[in-house]
Structure 1
Amino acid sequence: MATANTLERIFSVDYKSKIQPIVSLCIGGWGLENLSEPNEVTIDNSTGNIYVADSGNNCVKVFDCDGKIMFKFGDKEGKGKMYRPIGLAICRDRILISQSRNCILNYQVNGEFVSSIGKLGKGELEFINPLGLTFDESNGEVYICDYNDNRIQILSQELTYKAQFGQDNLHSPLDVKLTKEYIYILDGSNPCFHLYDYNLILHKSVISREHKLQVFIPFFFFIDNSNNILIITDYYSIAFLNSQLELIHRIPITQPNGVTVDNRGRVIVVCDGGEHHLNIF
């Protein structure tokens, strides 16, 4: 049974009260403390550290819970070399990173390179522009959005190929998250949400432009399992949805990309709106 992204220490978060960021760092540029074209953001729940895929700087930046830079990683040469990292997923002591060179990089959370998985193609362990990815924390399996192959690939805990699904229904999958009941996939072409069960059978699809959620240009999303809230980065806002996929709150913000929630109930967003912000609400 999947338990990924569960926030065990969150019991109730008043998301509607989140209007202005309590921390907003405008750190665009190319130095250690700067971000350039940031994509996904995720939290190491054991430490509270914030990991950002710094695409323009070809590395991952690690900040503490208050937004202070700690270190960066991404080998300059060899198999661990990063090129425009996009998606991030942390499980225990390792972090997986999707990147524009059509492979997945496997690192320790301390920045030590372990292995590279996959190559360009349409077969098993082959990718064309992999984007969002997530762990099933109950068994260590990995779900990867293979964007231009229009599918989800599942890897084992050992990062070997296990299965794939979605070719009949997906058209440019952007991000994937897990709950106890369903595999949620954000598809960029409509855009829409697809909900699959763990037998990899499509349960339902919700097209946003025909639905109350009204999300138009999404990228990443996060599921707070404790409250059944979906948080989606849209082109000019962050949209908060309830378990019925109904819009309950929206924060105007320019070009948000990655979004996550920490164990204190703070919503953390990185933006690529020309100023490359790290925002904490």
Structure 2
Amino acid sequence: MTKKNKKFELKLDLKAELVHIESKDRLKCEVIEQQHGQHKINYRPMKRGKHELHITVNGDAVQCSPFPIAVAPSPQRFVKPSRVVRGLSIPRGTVFNSKGQLIVVESGGATVSVLTPDGEKIRTFGKLNNAYGVTVDKDDNIYVVELSNNRVNKFSSDGEFVAVVGSRGNGNLQFNTPLGICYNKRDNNLYVPDQSNHRIQVISTELKFVRCFGTPGKGNGQLQNPLYASFDSANNLYVTEYFNHRVQVFTAEGKFLRTFSQKADGQKLSLPWAIAIDRSDTVYVSENGPHHGPHHVSVFTSQGAYITTFGGPGTKEGQFNDIYGLSIDRNDSVVVSDHGNWRLQIFQ
């Protein structure tokens, strides 16, 4: 046999492993050899959230390994809630503090209640005028937005009044019918969708003006009645626009990044209201208007790819009547503020 006719074969030992970033759980993947030197990698994650796919050939990592993998929630988890918290009076905005307690605006926006993780009421405080949004800072101070008074209230973690800022207008530290508020742990500031001023106003936790961004309109970076907002793990701000029927994504400094509204079969977001983002950057958006609308929650990836929709109008478990708040607990359970049914529905 001449050298020209010799066949040289290089054996490739290709292995793949999926690692859950938070728990460090490892899952060996099935590697199937295909034609023309290609390989197929099969895996079935046991946990949702962020993963890394590690690929090696003959013991050495391939270029760019590990690869980021985000495992979205299964649509089946939203068919029926794992838990329902009743006995609340017209619940609106919700948020979890560092202890896992749930803070909820109730009584038609007049008070704030603190609940245990199991839904037992610990305390109620405040004397508010048509409040909606609520958030907490790194010290568990509580901030509540009053739509009718056009202001932001600050309370201690125990519910003691600390300070208030705001009045009706379009200047710094003035608002026009604000609903939502969210906290950015990176810069320790509060971001308030200033609805009828069509902008995002940023204030410090000391209730001082920092900056604002956004102008009225339908173009990229413009806003039309922004209602609620939430940050992802990359420190990008997602804003629901009620009358533009979309979600816009900005940097914390206000630079436009992208927008999304497209769902399946040519459908689009309709009257988006509340928004929440879990640890895998899955985005949850409620769609409803006061006393009308689809009354459901649509789910997207952080890039705006549609995943699923759950809910619908009604009083049964898994159905809703005006969703005025969404929040995520430390286990990535989704808490839906079922305003018109006077309850919270929790999906695990």
Post-superposition offset of 1:136: 1.1
1:57/1:48 CA distance change after superposition, 3 Å: same
| Contact 2:263/2:306 (<8 A) preserved | no
Q: Deviations over 1:68-105 (max 9, x none)?
A: 1111110xxxxxx3112100111122011001210000
Post-superposition offset of 1:244: 2.6
1:152 partnered with 2:200: yes
Which runs of structure 2 are paired with 1:189-268 in the superposition (5 Å)?
A: 189-208=243-262, 214-224=268-278, 226-235=279-288, 236-252=295-311, 253-254=319-320, 255-268=322-335
| Contact 2:261/2:304 (<8 A) preserved | no
Instruction: Structure 1: state its 5+ residue gaps.
Output: 1-7, 28-33, 75-80
| Contact 2:272/2:286 (<8 A) preserved | yes
Q: Distance in 2 between matches of 1:113 and 1:270?
A: 24
Match of 1:20 in 2: 80
Q: Distance in 2 between matches of 1:241 and 1:207?
A: 9
Q: Distance in 2 between matches of 1:25 and 1:242?
A: 28
Q: Distance in 1 between matches of 2:205 and 2:168?
A: 22
Q: Distance in 2 between matches of 1:266 and 1:198?
A: 25
Matched residue type, 1:279: Q
How many residue pairs match? The answer is 258
Match of 1:165 in 2: 213
Matched residue type, 2:48: S
Secondary structure at 2:108 match in 1:
helix
Q: Which has the larger radius of gyration?
A: 2
Matched residue type, 2:257: H
Q: 2:336 aligns with which of 264, 269, 273?
A: 269
Q: Deviations over 1:25-48 (max 9, x none)?
A: 342xxxxxx312x2111111x211
| Contact 1:191/1:208 (<8 A) preserved | no
Q: CA RMSD in A?
A: 2.3
Which runs of structure 2 are paired with 1:29-40 in the superposition (5 Å)?
A: 34-36=88-90, 38-40=91-93
Regions of 4+ moved over 3 Å = 8-11, 207-213
Q: 2:121 aligns with which of 46, 69, 75?
A: 69
Q: Distance in 2 between matches of 1:198 and 1:269?
A: 26
Q: Deviations over 1:106-136 (max 9, x none)?
A: 0112111100011111100000111111111
Instruction: Please give the TM-score of this superposition, normalised by the length of structure 1.
Output: 0.84
| Contact 2:114/2:122 (<8 A) preserved | yes
| Contact 1:174/1:188 (<8 A) preserved | yes
Q: Distance in 1 between matches of 2:271 and 2:254?
A: 26
| Contact 1:132/1:176 (<8 A) preserved | yes
Matched residue type, 1:86: Y
Q: Percent same amino acid at aligned positions?
A: 23
Matched residue type, 2:143: L
Post-superposition offset of 1:257: 2.0
| Contact 1:53/1:85 (<8 A) preserved | yes
Post-superposition offset of 1:15: 4.3
Post-superposition offset of 1:207: 4.0
Instruction: Please give the TM-score of this superposition, normalised by the length of structure 2.
Output: 0.69
Match of 1:5 in 2: none
Bigger mean CA deviation after superposition, 245-254 or 163-172: 245-254
1:96/1:181 CA distance change after superposition, 3 Å: closer
Secondary structure at 1:86 match in 2:
strand
Matched residue type, 1:95: I
1:135/1:213 CA distance change after superposition, 3 Å: farther
Post-superposition offset of 1:191: 0.9
1:148/1:211 CA distance change after superposition, 3 Å: farther
Match of 2:7 in 1: none
1:67/1:199 CA distance change after superposition, 3 Å: closer
Q: Distance in 1 between matches of 2:304 and 2:267?
A: 6
1:165/1:211 CA distance change after superposition, 3 Å: farther
| Contact 1:106/1:114 (<8 A) preserved | yes
Matched residue type, 2:167: K
Matched residue type, 1:251: F
1:158/1:42 CA distance change after superposition, 3 Å: same
Match of 1:91 in 2: 137
Match of 1:30 in 2: none
